Each structure stands twice: as C-alpha cells, then as structure tokens.
Amino acid sequence: MVRAFERVNPSVVSILTTHRERVVYRYRDPFFDLFFPMSPFGSQLLRGEREHVSGGSGLIVSEDGHILTNDHVLGEVRRVLRLEISLPDGRRLKAKYLASDHFIDLAILKVEADDLPVAPLGESGDILVGEWAIAIGNPFALGTSPSIGIISGIDRDFGEPQGKYFYRDMIQTDAAINRGNSGGPLVNALGEVIGINSFIITGDESIGSAGVGFAIPIDAGKRFLDEISTYGRVRQGWTGIAEIRDITPRQAEYLELPDASGAIVVQVSVDSPAYLAGVDRLDVIVGINGEVTRSAQDVRGILKALRVGETCVLDLYRDGRRQSVSFALEEVQRQRWY
C-alpha cells in the first residue's frame, strides 16, 4: 500500500477554484439608525457579489501539464475568477480551463511547468470486486491524504441523473471519500489509477463518508482525454432519436410487449443515423449495446455516454417481435438530440 501510494501521490494535485457568486444582504441606513435605532424600518435588501473559494483534487496525466478532474469541482466555469493547483512538492501554479464533458462529470485543466510527475493509468476493465483500493485527494483542504478500502462493486449504474450528470459503469469502493476528494484518483495495489473519485452516498449530507463511494472508471477518462487531444473539445454525439417516453401498461398491452419496461420512440429526425438504420415511431427500445434499458431515463443515460463514431446497437420490439438495428453516432450540428 505504501509503495502504491508513493507511486501516484506526486501527480495528485489540490485544486482551488475562486468563483464570483451572487449574494443578497440587508443594508440599514446609518443616519436613520441614529434617530430610530430600534425601528423595523430603514433597511433594504440589496444584491451584490462576493468571492467564494472551493477545493477539490486532480491528477496530472501528461508531461505537458494536463490535469484530469471532475467537472463539478470547477462549478460554473463562466463565474470562475481564478484556478490554482498545488503539488505535493510545494509548487503552486495557475491553471487554465480547457474543456469538460458535462454529461459524465469530467474536466481537464492545463498548467505550464517543467518536470511534472505523471500518474500511471491502469485499466478499469481489469478490476475485481474485493481487491484493494486507495482513494487519494485533498479532503477538507487538509492536504493530500490516502484512504484504504476495497472495490465493493463494479458497473454500478444510476438511472436518474445525479444533479446534471449521468453516472454509469461506476466503481464502488468503501475507501473513505470526503469533500475535497472529488477529482482525485482511485488506485489499485500496483499503484495504477483505475478511477476518478466522484461522489458518495450517505443518506445524510451533513455527515461524511459512510463507506459507499463511487469513482468514474479510468477507461472513460482515457476516452475523454483522447477526444480532447484529437479535437480540442468533446464532440456531442447524435443519434436522431428526438423524443422517447416511458411505456405505460396499456401501451405495452396494445403493442404486444411482454411487460411495460423500455422506452417508446415518439419522434425520429429524418436522415439521421437512427432513421437511416430503420428506427421508427412506436419502436420500443429494451436494450442498448447489450445493456438492458427499463425506462426512458436509462436510454438517455446510455446514449449520452456514447462518443461520435461509436456503434450503437438497439434491441427493439416492433410489431410484437424483437429485433436489433445498429448505426454509428454522428456529430450534432444544429440542434441537441439524444
């Protein structure tokens, strides 16, 4: 565990984000207070702005200074005044925001410096439930700290978006993850990064880690990094499936479906990838790329995670029969669709 921590720790950074946030405050006229100090009148609500500093963690993934972290660590980017990172060797550097994937909660920053340590990235597809895991980050701004546990589960999906993010294929761990750990690495016993620590489930936001934490698989992080290095941004994939809805029991009976799970296609854009592959209105999507979809939210989450050029295989019910169609996602041009 010590060797694994020492291998990754030099590349783990603490991120300080300074935002401009709106505030509302009560102002009392001092001249009025001079004569009527106890009066309920003489005050008014004013709007203003103030600076707010928040913290998180990140990971240096290239010698030229690219840093991988969570998108939610940065907050509302257009209101960011300053981005700074601090390294375990004591250096403090200004960082520049480059891009985000606003669906799966990843972002990338850039710093200018020499001799930057780079994290060794592993393969999240090789991990096993029960193996050791180390979560490294900057909890509560105390400085870089490790916590040790095991891999409690893999391929954890959240059908409902958590905030604005769709978390799928997540790694579950009981290694303590607290506020400030977000964006830091989840590491295996070999000292290889297998995930990006993202959030916890406690049942009560007032307490800290309860041993149920989740990390984005590093394989998803690698795809994100490849997209940024090749295109300079995250290209939004387009299927052409413009509207889907949950199936009702009455619709399931009418369409001769075995049950009311899946999502019914309401609208498909003409000449889109899905349209050209034969997807039509009233088709019911029950699976995507081998993964069962029980609701419209499941379908949205899976489709949003697919990249431009990736193949999408839809399992459909049509006219009471099950069949499959496949197509490759194209880049969205004018409008945003699923």
Q: Let me know if 89 is a catalytic residue.
A: no
Q: Tell me if domain 11-111 and domain 124-231 are identical in fold.
A: yes
What local confidence, expressed as pLDDT, does residue 182 receive? 93
Which position among 14, 72, 100, 152 bears the catalytic label? 72
Which position among 71, 101, 105, 315 bears the catalytic label? 105
Mean predicted lDDT score pLDDT of the chain: 88
- Please give the share of the chain, as a percent, with pLDDT higher than 70: 91
Each residue's pLDDT tens digit, 110-119? 999 999 999 9
Backbone φ, ψ for residue 243 (5° rounding):
-155, 135
Separation of alpha carbons 74 and 302, rounded Å: 24
What local confidence, expressed as pLDDT, does residue 234 receive? 87
Q: Which residues pair with 49 in a beta bridge?
A: 22
CATH architecture of 11-111: Beta Barrel (2.40)
Each residue's pLDDT tens digit, 243-275? 999 999 998 888 888 888 999 999 999 999 999
Instruction: Tell me the CATH number for domain 124-231.
Output: 2.40.10.10
194 class by beta-carbon count within 10 Å (0-12 exposed, 13-18 middle, 19+ buried): buried
Q: Let me know if 182 is a catalytic residue.
A: yes
Q: Which residues pair with 27 in a beta bridge?
A: 44
What local confidence, expressed as pLDDT, does residue 38 receive? 66
What local confidence, expressed as pLDDT, does residue 337 receive? 45
pLDDT at 214 over 90: yes
Backbone φ, ψ for residue 47 (5° rounding):
-100, 140
26 class by beta-carbon count within 10 Å (0-12 exposed, 13-18 middle, 19+ buried): exposed
Separation of alpha carbons 11 and 89, rounded Å: 10
Separation of alpha carbons 246 and 263, rounded Å: 5
What local confidence, expressed as pLDDT, does residue 80 receive? 86
Which residues lie closer than 8 Å to 189 by C-beta, 6 or more apart? 1, 4, 131, 132, 134
Which position among 100, 182, 198, 272 bears the catalytic label? 182
What local confidence, expressed as pLDDT, does residue 338 receive? 52
Task: Give 174 or 143, the one with higher predicted confidence.
Answer: 174
Does an H or E element contain 72, and which?
A: helix 71-74
Between 63-67, 88-92, 117-121, 138-142, the lowest mean confidence (pLDDT) is in 138-142
Fold (CATH) for 237-331: Pdz3 Domain (2.30.42)
Q: Smallest Cα–Cα separation from 81: which of 15, 21, 141? A: 21
One-letter amino acid of 98: L
What is the number of residues in the chain? 338
Q: What is the residue extent of each domain of the chain?
A: 11-111, 124-231, 237-331
Which residues lie closer than 8 Å to 200 by C-beta, 6 or more apart? 177, 178, 208, 209, 210, 212, 213, 214
pLDDT at 336 over 50: no
Each residue's pLDDT tens digit, 285-295? 999 999 999 99
What local confidence, expressed as pLDDT, does residue 208 receive? 60
pLDDT at 46 over 80: no
The predicted model scores a pTM of 0.81
Q: Let me know if 105 is a catalytic residue.
A: yes
Q: Which residues pair with 82 in a beta bridge?
A: 18
Span 140-161, mean pLDDT?
87
Cα-atom radius of gyration of the chain, to the nearest Å?
A: 24
pLDDT at 20 over 90: no
Span 191-200, mean pLDDT?
95
Q: Are 235 and 331 in contact (CB under 8 A)?
A: yes
DSSP annotation string for 238-273: E--EEEEEEPPHHHHHHTT-SSS-SEEEEEE-TTSH
Q: Are 309 and 290 in contact (CB under 8 A)?
A: no
